Amino acid sequence: MKLTKKSHACVRLDKEGQTLVIDPGGFSEEDAALGADAILITHEHPDHFDEFRLRAAMENNPAARIWTLRSVAERITAAFPGRVHTVGHGDTFTAAGFDVQVHGELHAVIHPDIPRITNVGYLVDGGKVFHPGDALTVPAHPVETLMLPVMAPWNKISEVIDYVREVRPRRAYDVHDALLTDLARPIYDRQIGALGGTDHQRLTPGASAEV
């Protein structure tokens, strides 16, 4: 499977001529979802969910389908009738040849005064890749490649390090990194790499790796 990092929280998976895109939001490239056969969305925040990018992808490929939680599905089902599937924690499905398990229910706490929204993570092909969205969800399944939300208003580096330790993936690639300045990246790389207990790497947008 080929994993391509797009800007911020978006990743692209390619396998056997099929393409799966996760979280093509407003911080990602305008063409982040173009060419996708299947699109997964973890939650409704605009840096993960952008209707413009979805519309471009769905018009580009009339066979493309979207899988997402109810709060997002309710906003886009009318625009893409028959092409949006609602999922929740514990569900399993196949999207464009990728086997997907759904893990998690709630967004991480931003502040106690801010109501929590729903959020799901996606475990792809039996643990090859896990994208948790905006939560530190630990799936009850081994993970080979963790997409690690490294910088967000709802986390701090100690939580990120402890999350890597708890999931224990073979490798972790940064996502949710648009808010992390280039000056800070070496600090995060060094501390997560030294303390996380796994192979921690960072892909620049557009770069790929085999997983």
Q: What is the pLDDT of residue 203?
A: 96
Q: Give the DSSP letter string of the chain.
A: -EEEE-STT-EEEEETTEEEEE---TTS-TTTTTT-SEEEE--SSTTT--HHHHHHHHHH-TT-EEEE-HHHHHHHTTTSTT-EEE--TT-EEEETTEEEEEE--BPPPS-TTSPPPB--EEEEGGGTEEE--SS----SS--SEEEEE-S-TT--HHHHHHHHHHH--SEEEEES-TTS-TTTHHHHHHHHHHHSSSEEE-PPTT-EEE-
Partners of 15 in the β-ladder: 18
Q: What is the pLDDT of residue 11?
A: 98
Q: Which residue carries 């399993």 as its tokens?
A: 92
Q: What is the pLDDT of residue 118?
A: 98
Contact 82, 90 (CB under 8 A): no
pLDDT in tens, 89-121: 999 999 999 999 999 999 999 999 999 999 999
pLDDT in tens, 128-138: 999 999 999 99
Q: The domain containing residue 137 runs over which residues?
A: 2-210
Q: What is the pLDDT of residue 210?
A: 97
Give the count of domains, the chain: 1
Residue 122's pLDDT band (cuts 50, 70, 90): very high
Residue 56 maps to which CATH number? 3.60.15.10
Contact 176, 150 (CB under 8 A): yes
The C-alpha atoms of residue 165 and residue 160 are separated, in whole angstroms, by 9
Mean pLDDT of 171-187: 95
Report the mean per-residue pLDDT for the chain. Answer: 97
Mean pLDDT of 164-177: 98
Contact 82, 6 (CB under 8 A): no
Q: What is the pLDDT of residue 184?
A: 93
